């Protein structure tokens, strides 16, 4: 795992890069979040491929548990990926509603994620 730091408007944004699945459980998400927070990063970019696929099946409850941890600790997060291949209406609605806010966003590119998290 590597961390790439983006600076936009003097706001550091940590992008987590890896070829592996990094988040399988809420505990793993919390550990990653805490590790980055103690390095003074409260804005994080994650990639879809680094999160267990069950996250995107809302019936499992994993997304809710993981994202609640980010919300509780006021860590802003953007998940970057192509979400168009998910057929679940509830997931599409969840992504739409999340993108209305500033706390949790699902975006198609790192550039858009950096811009959103820097505002």
Tens of pLDDT, residue by residue over 46-71, are 999 999 999 999 999 999 999 999 99
pLDDT one-digit tens code per residue, 59-115: 999 999 999 999 999 999 999 999 999 999 999 999 999 999 999 999 999 999 999
| Residue 107 lies in domain | 2-118
CATH number for 34: 3.30.750
Tokens found for residue 66 = 């993981």
| CA 70 from centroid of its chain's CA atoms | 9
pLDDT of residue 119: 87
C-alpha span between 116 and 119 (Å, rounded): 6
pLDDT of residue 10: 86
3-state helix, strand, coil in the chain (%, to 5): 45, 25, 30
How many structural domains are present in the chain?
Answer: 1
Q: Treating both helix axes as pointing N-terminal to C-terminal, what angle do 62-72 and 26-37 enclose, rounded to 10 degrees?
A: 20
């Amino acid at each position: 795992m590597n961390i790439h730091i983006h600076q936009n408007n003097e706001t550091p944004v940590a992008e987590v890069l890896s070829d592996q699945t990094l988040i399988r459980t809420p505990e793993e998400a919390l550990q990653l979040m805490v590790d980055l927070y103690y390095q003074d990063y409260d804005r994080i970019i994650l990639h879809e491929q680094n999160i267990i696929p069950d996250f995107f099946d809302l019936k499992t409850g994993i997304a809710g548990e993981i994202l609640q941890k980010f919300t509780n600790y006021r860590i802003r997060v953007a998940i970057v990926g192509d979400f168009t291949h998910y057929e679940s209406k509830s997931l599409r609605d969840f992504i739409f509603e999340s993108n209305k806010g500033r706390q949790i966003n699902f975006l198609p590119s790192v550039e858009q994620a950096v811009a959103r998290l820097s505002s």
